[in-house]
Amino acid sequence: MSIAEQIMKWKQEKNAVILAHYYVDEEVQEIADYVGDSFYLSKVATNVDAERIIFCGVEFMGESAKILNPTKRVFMPDAMADCPMAHMATKEEILKVKEQYDDVAVVCYINSTAELKTYADVCVTSSNAVKIVRNLPNHNIFFIPDRNLGHYVSEQVPEKNFIFNAGCCPRHVAITEEKVLAAKAKYPNAKFAAHPECTQDVLAHADYIGSTAGIIDYVVASADQEFLIGTVDGVFAEIKKQAPDKILHTIKEQQVCVNMKKVTLEKVLDVLEHETNEVFVDQDVAQKAMQPLTRMLALAK
């Protein structure tokens, strides 16, 4: 039996459902029941019937799935697959900003630890941040942890005052303006689609800015044929599936998320079979972190 066949067998036996982010390897996306961006996967996680969720992604995703669906057992194929940006804000900084501004809303990108979410008024993902922030009653917005997504949102919602945090995604900031200009010179007919975790100077050259799902939809629906992709190359798999004729280029070599890459078919099979790497969140933390997550789901509708 192939690994994929064994996964299917164990999945049924264990009454499990497999969720995968677009950044994991194509062969992992292929065995998943649901593949999507962070927002889609967090919605799926609240609605699954299965007893067990295998989350092919990074820690904050498994944690959010567990918080949103506490009666389910959630497992991560690789317990060390973590998003470095999720840790790039501090409780001290949040409390300091809260003291300085009385009507401040702490807007927390879902790429954050459960602990950080406990200090948030609302969570957002890259696909709903603009809509949610625009509709918040607060004038002052402290956006954590990603300064780049924060800057992008602030440009779309100029009527609000933003306080930024220093965090960033090491993978997206490695897509530099210099590399974008070189790629544009090499492929002059290509349209450039970028994730808002890229820096402002890079986004200034983009024909489209959006979440992973947004980028996929843009490329698939576009009348153009050739694209430069300013995000992790895991999105290529879904684009190729929906629009096999499109020509796709990365901006740089190795445009991967090393943590998402830790998820392999062998590890998916292993957690299904042996029930290792189960996600547990402290009850008090989970209760507090659930509020901004459920508020996000309500406000994004």
Nearer CB in complex with ligand 13P: 126/250:
126
Q: Are 104 and 71 in contact (CB under 8 A)?
A: no
Q: Which span sits near ligand SF4 by CB under 6 A: 98-106, 126-134, 154-162, 257-265?
A: 257-265
Nearer CB in complex with ligand SF4: 63/197:
197
Q: For ligand SF4, what does the binding mask look like between residues 95 and 134, x meaning CB under 6 A?
A: ----------------x-----------------------
Q: Which of 58, 132, 194, 293 binds ligand SF4 (CB under 6 A)?
A: 58
Q: Tell me if residue 189 falls in helix, strand or coil.
A: coil
Phi, psi of 206 (to 5 degrees): -85, 140
Which residues are paired to 109 by β-bridges? 124
| Angle value at C-alpha 111, between 127 and 136, nearest 5 degrees | 55
Nearer CB in complex with ligand SF4: 68/233:
233
On the CB side of 198, CA atoms within 13 Å amount to: 28
The nearest distance, CB 195 to ligand 13P, in angstroms, is 6
d(CA 36, CA 21): 5
DSSP-assigned letter for residue 300: T
The nearest distance, CB 60 to ligand SF4, in angstroms, is 8
The nearest distance, CB 38 to ligand 13P, in angstroms, is 4
Q: Which span sits near ligand SF4 by CB under 6 A: 69-77, 115-123, 252-260, 270-278?
A: 252-260
Q: Which of 42, 113, 127, 250 binds ligand 13P (CB under 6 A)?
A: 127
d(CA 99, CA 119): 13
Where do the DSSP E strands lie in 110-160? Answer: 122-124, 140-144
Question: How far, CA to CA in Å, does 35 sit from each of 56, 136, 175, 220, 280?
Answer: 9, 29, 24, 16, 23
146 touches ligand 13P (CB under 6 A): no
Total residues contacting ligand SF4 (rule CB under 6 A)?
13
Please choose which of ligand SF4, ligand 13P, none residue 84 contacts, taking the beta carbon within 5 to 8 angstroms, the exact cut-off set by kind: ligand SF4
Please choose which of ligand 13P, ligand SF4, none residue 19 contacts, taking the beta carbon within 5 to 8 angstroms, the exact cut-off set by kind: none
* Environment class of 180 (CB within 10 Å of its CB; exposed 0-12, middle 13-18, buried 19+): buried
Q: Tell me if residue 34 falls in helix, strand or coil.
A: strand
Q: Are 215 and 197 in contact (CB under 8 A)?
A: no
Q: Are 207 and 194 in contact (CB under 8 A)?
A: no
The nearest distance, CB 118 to ligand SF4, in angstroms, is 20
The nearest distance, CB 145 to ligand 13P, in angstroms, is 12
Q: For ligand 13P, what does the binding mask look like between residues 53 and 92, x meaning CB under 6 A?
A: ----------------------------------------
On the CB side of 199, CA atoms within 13 Å amount to: 13
Site residues for ligand 13P per CB under 6 A: 37-38, 111, 125-127, 169, 195, 197, 211-212
Site residues for ligand SF4 per CB under 6 A: 58, 83-85, 111, 169, 171-172, 197, 232, 257, 259-260
